[in-house]
Amino acid sequence: MSALLASIPSPSVGRLSIGPLGVSAYGLMIAIGVIAGTALASRRLERAGAGTSEDMQSVALWSVLGGVIGARLYHVATAWELFADDYARIPMIWRGGLGIPGGLLVGTLAGILAVRRRGLWLPAVLTAAAPGIPLAQAIGRLGNWWNQELFGRPTTLPWGLEISNDKIPHGFEAGTLFYPTFLYESLWNIGLCLVLLAIDRYRPMRPGRLFGVYVVGYFLGRFWIEGIRIDAAHTFGGLRLNQWVAAAAVAGSLVIAVIAAIRRRRSKPSETGDRRSQDVDPDLVGSTPSADHTPP
């Protein structure tokens, strides 16, 4: 096997020619990922009877726009030294530089607003969208391969990544192979997508909870993959900034899950109490579905 796969080559250019047009491969991978993720989420929402494909496409549009803006702002804020003397670079997202934590935060908030505007039931939309997000991320991460960026430490493994001499970091010799962290994250996200689909099929959770599983699963993977990367990053206490963000996201999600479990336990009706309270999910109070979109 090692003789067949001595290394992973990197593309010599980051643009694709489609007829007379030149397209950024980085942007194309993100676009394909968005289309695939939205298609999966739309199908799941329709199957659950909680909305239409048009509903999910509208939510996805606003989520993606908010996500791109949030991801870019996060990258600019955490790597300001790259933009301090050249503000014109800030909107040039096709050259790379999107911070997933910022994209998830702003994209989720934008998506929630879109859900409310269309009168959809938020927990059902979150459940439908959960597996589609890592699918989109898995495809979008391939854009880093085209840009030859965000790779890891040097390695002698047979799947080490080749990098052009002009993109090899200072201090490393020409021909050095590096961990393909973009590929690790892409494969992790594909696996996460399959796990979420399996959970929803064989062990369905309360509406909305699957999104929490996605958050924990994604940031667990991001934590260890981030530790392999060698691109410039702020560090605190021996960990990169994104590792701290990942740890905070996992911890926050677990705390929310524990609080929700405690609330459910405390709100369970007693044997002599009002039996009608059994029909009320305390976690969904204030999230009443519209008449047009009855939850499954």
Q: Which pLDDT tens digit goes with each residue over 234-263?
A: 888 999 999 999 999 999 999 998 998 898
Q: Which amino acid makes up residue 148?
A: Q
Average pLDDT score over residue span 151-176:
91
Separation between Cα atoms, residue 242 and residue 273, nearest integer Å: 48
Q: How much is the pLDDT for 96?
A: 67
Other beta carbons within 10 angstroms of residue 171's beta carbon come to 7
pLDDT, greater one: 91 or 284: 91
At residue 219, the 3 state secondary structure works out as helix
- pLDDT interval class at 269 (50, 70, 90): low
- pLDDT interval class at 101 (50, 70, 90): confident
Average pLDDT score over residue span 172-184:
93
pLDDT tops 60 at residue 227 = yes
pLDDT tops 60 at residue 200 = yes
Average pLDDT score over residue span 271-293:
45
Give the residue among 3, 28, 5 at the shortest CA–CA distance from 180.
Answer: 5
pLDDT tops 90 at residue 278 = no
Average pLDDT score over residue span 283-295:
44
Separation between Cα atoms, residue 188 and residue 279, nearest integer Å: 38
pTM of the predicted model as reported, rounded to 2 decimal places: 0.82
β-sheet bridge partners, residue 240: 235
Q: How much is the pLDDT for 93?
A: 76
**DSSP designation for 120:** -
pLDDT tops 80 at residue 97 = no
Q: How much is the pLDDT for 4?
A: 56
- pLDDT interval class at 25 (50, 70, 90): confident
- pLDDT interval class at 26 (50, 70, 90): confident
Average pLDDT score over residue span 80-97:
77
Exposure string for 262-272, b = 16+ CB within 10 A, e = fewer: eeeeeeeeeee
- pLDDT interval class at 5 (50, 70, 90): low
**Lookup: tokens for 150:** 């965000």
β-sheet bridge partners, residue 16: 23
Q: How much is the pLDDT for 2?
A: 44
pLDDT tops 70 at residue 270 = no
- pLDDT interval class at 87 (50, 70, 90): confident
- pLDDT interval class at 11 (50, 70, 90): confident
Q: 154 phi and psi, to 5 degrees? A: -60, 150
- Could you tell me the CA-to-CA distances from 281 to 160, 234, 251, 288 in Å, in that order? 50, 42, 24, 11
Q: How much is the pLDDT for 31?
A: 92
| Crossing angle (nearest 10°) for helices 122-129 and 100-117 | 140
pLDDT tops 80 at residue 216 = yes
Residue percentage of the chain with pLDDT more than 70: 88
